[in-house]
A and B are shown apart, each in its own frame.
Chain A
Amino acid sequence: MDDLFYFIIAKYNYWASLVLLFIGLYGMIVRNNLMKKIIGMVIFQTAILLFIVSIGVKRGATVPIIEFSADKQPLLEASAYANPLPHVLILTAIVVGVAVLGVALALLQKIQRVHGTIEEDEILEDLRK
């Protein structure tokens, strides 16, 4: 029982992003409304971003800028600083995500104009005509 408890609590960031991942997938695959599909897609992306950001965290670590002690000695210990690389990567991935969202919304607007609806089944019916 303790093992299970540890398994869930100690890795809560993984579980949280996993739950978000499946909410996003559910939205993308099951939902009929295209706007909700987009929302699902954004949740899905965000889950991955959160997952990767969370792995840069270290307990008791500070921002990754070298600290100096009172006698001007630099503190050069990797465990004292959070890992900045995941954050930098995710900054780029966020930009990519925003671009995808922008294109998706632009397409959705066009779909609405051409088909008069953003419900998937109605669009398919319209295309079959």
Chain B
Amino acid sequence: MMDQAPVLMIVVPVFASLALTLIGPLGHRAAYGLLIASLSLSLTASLAMLVQVVQTGRAVHYRMGDWMPPMGIELVIDHLSAGVLALVGTCSLLTAIYSLHTARQDNPDRLHHYYALFALLVAGLLGMTAAGDVFNLYVLLEISALSSYGMLARGRGPAYYATFRYLVMGTIGACFYLLGVGYLYIMTGSLNMADLAEILSRPELRESVSVRIGFTLIILGIWIKMALFPLHAWLPNAYSRAGTTTACLIAPLMTKVSVYVMLRMMYTVFSADYVFQQIAWSRLVIFLASAAAVLGMITALSQRDLRKMLTYIIVAEIGYLTGGAWLANTAGYTGAVYHILADGIITLCLFMAVGAIIYRTGESRAAAMQGIFQRMPVTAAVFLVGAASVLGIPPTCGFFSKWYLLQGAVQAGAWVFVAALIIAGLVAAVMFFKLLEKAFFGRLDDLMIEKSNGKPGTAALKIRMDEAPLTMLLPLVFTGAALVGLGIYTNEVVQYLIRWSVPSGI
């Protein structure tokens, strides 16, 4: 069984997705159970592989149908992908558990179809992370993108137009990627990543214009997918109108896996040497990343809607990740990889907390935060931990990723990025203190009075504890604990996982 874990991890959710489309008549409990069961299996497989990779210190290579690469299709789980796989598995299972109430609220009529898309999206993301060749990565990228279009379109309110724009942008991104792969194929005749890396490292291809164009197209395509400033316009619109479960699943994972794909392309297919010596865009990219971090946070500060605020925080975090990846030193790389894991959990935590608040108050404006510490103490406490992680307050994991990123930026002499990290942190501090002030000191009945059209009498009755249901609370508390846990075990994560994946040449 263990030998087959890499493929089971991806195939189980695919078949669960097929089965989910058929079991509609059995009711929503059956669909919920099947989704949880398949994602648990998938998570078990990915954790088993993480343990194996860490214990043996070697990458797992799985050959589909036992065809030898480069002819055959290969799944590769190394130190970098094992961490991301565990992140995707954990976040998707937590979201699935969390979805019991919210998914039914958002999709009263066809929950099983919604869950089928859910499982397919997870399979696509896991496949993208484990794929060992560039063309399968494209197909799995489109599988996850297509299921995300379907899930986002079933949002609250007029989500169709926002989803349509995301679809057009996403297709342009994927097409650029495919065209870039075509260029690489012309020059190398190979699609397997390890094989490509070997051929591309030959001196005669180093100066090649076609390879350069191929790299440019691939990276541009991935930047559109991960919403790097200034290509980010589609993200806030599409994500902020999504249903609660959809937002919790897609917001933390889609962009993080895209960043992972960027790292893969930069360091596995091409080499650090090629990217930083031959392409040499570092200055420009770090400038874009800094702009993303600062402008993302400032735009987040100006939002009144909680969900929209969080989506702009994602844009800012993408800036941190991209900057770290392009700093071209070990600290920056470590910071970027660590922040993929940390930011996945931070985003999940914040979206889940806001989702719980919206579920209870029926309100997504910042005003919903008023008096939240009295009404929903657990949710509010976890939200506080999530906010502390975005700000980078120790011992949460956000502190350590910022620490590595700053260290890398100082070493590389990228003062723009240092300034951006500090300014974005300060802006985030202002934003969260404003919210927390409302949460602590905001008069609880202000919101209620507003909701009951100015009659204070009815509002007084509602001042009581009104915590989210247990299925929402448990995953939420788990993410809060994970943020602190990941922070405390930073050393171990870096030592056993990230240090191994640091590419040569940086």
Q: Which residues of A contact B (CB under 8 A)?
A: 25, 28, 34, 37, 41, 44-45, 48, 51-52, 55, 86, 89, 92-93, 96, 99-100, 103-104, 107-108, 110-111, 114-115, 123, 127
Contacts and interface: CB of A to CB of B under 8 A. Distances in A.
Contacts of A48: 175, 178-179, 182
Contacts of A28: 168, 172
Interface string B65-104: 0000000000000000000000000000000000000000
Nearest to B169: A28
B142 A96 contact: yes
A35 to B, nearest CB: 11
B135 to A, nearest CB: 6
B149 A107 contact: yes
B275 interface: no
A89 B133 CA distance: 12
A111 B161 contact: yes
Contacts of A55: 182, 185-186
Q: Which secondary structure dominates chain A's binding surface?
A: helix
B168 to A, nearest CB: 6
A37 to B, nearest CB: 6
Contacts, number: 70
Interface of B: 135, 138-139, 142, 146, 149-150, 153, 158, 160-161, 163-164, 167-168, 171-172, 174-175, 178-179, 182, 185-186, 191
19 contacts: A28-B172, A37-B168, A41-B168, A41-B172, A48-B179, A55-B182, A55-B186, A89-B135, A93-B138, A93-B139, A96-B174, A99-B142, A100-B146, A100-B167, A103-B146, A107-B164, A107-B167, A111-B161, A111-B164
Contacts of B138: 93, 96
B186 A114 contact: no
A34 B142 CA distance: 21
A105 B262 CA distance: 30
Given A55-B182, A99-B142, A107-B153, 9 more contacts: A93-B138, A96-B142, A96-B174, A104-B164, A107-B160, A107-B164, A110-B153, A110-B160, A114-B158
Contacts of A111: 160-161, 164
